[in-house]
Amino acid sequence: MRSSASDAFYEVYNDLTYSRQVIYRPENKAFRSSLFAFEERTITRHFPIPPATVLIGAAGGGREAFALARRGYQVVAFEPSRSVAASMASACREFRIETLVGRYEGLPFVSSLAQPPVVIDLRSRAPFAAAILGWISFSHLRSDERCIETLRQIGNLTIGPILVSAHPIRLIGFSVHMGYYRGLSSAEIGKLAERAGLGVLYVDETDNWSYAVVSACPKRVTGIIRTPM
């Protein structure tokens, strides 16, 4: 289903939709806690060893953040839904995770969970050794221009590999379960990254997801594997 609602509507609806899903709530038994196979491969092949600091955007309830923290990484994670971010923060006290509130469109600025919120410039935490754009969150950006600017901002903060994944179906639409989305192939993610001035290290579409590993400093990243685009 296609929709032409306002940006403000999409932002509010997407936040509400994800905040109500139990798989994003670490306190719920249905919380999805494990990494996908493509994420495991990316971390093994491309990420620096712990205790490197990793930036995670659209972090949800902390699935990727907890998995990395358990391996010894330090994590800075931001999530647009304040209630979901608060749920992650309450569950991560044993880990080295800084939980913040923010969306890709506002980078490099995010805010603390404190009341009143304190604005934080992520450049004060940079450079990050690696970054992850949370699972298929890239599909919720509503134009090529927003995708490019998000990649540029993450690239400005990160000196190592950046994992980007997207919904693989080549459609643009609206779902009552996840709000606005657009499907992107791995090659399309790579092309957007190149338009953002980033190097493409690897692209693939296995495990039913489109994903790419990109970097603002590709020469610093070891184990480079690149598939044809």
What is the distance between the alpha carbons of residues 118 and 12, in angstroms, rounded to a whole number?
21
Residue 204 banded pLDDT, cuts 50, 70, 90: very high
User: Per residue in 140-185, pLDDT tens?
Assistant: 898 999 999 999 999 999 999 999 999 887 766 655 455 567 889 9
DSSP code for 169:
S
Q: What is the mean pLDDT of the chain?
A: 84
Helix 144-157 with 186-195: angle, nearest 10 deg: 70
pTM for the model:
0.84
User: Per residue in 89-137, pLDDT tens?
Assistant: 988 878 889 999 999 999 999 999 999 999 999 999 999 999 999 998 9
214 dihedral zone (left: phi>0; alpha: psi -120 to 50; beta) = beta
Q: Is residue 49 classed exposed, middle or buried when 0-12, 13-18 and 19+ CB atoms within 10 A define those classes?
A: exposed
In contact, 14 and 5? CB cutoff 8 Å = no
For the chain, the domains span: 7-220
Query: Residue 169, Cα to own-chain centre: how many angstroms?
Result: 19
| Residue 7, pLDDT above cutoff 80 | no
Integer-rounded Cα Rg, in Å, for the chain is: 16
- Of 151, 159, 165, nearest to 203 by C-alpha is 165
Query: Does the domain made of 7-220 have the CATH classification 2.40.128.50?
Result: no
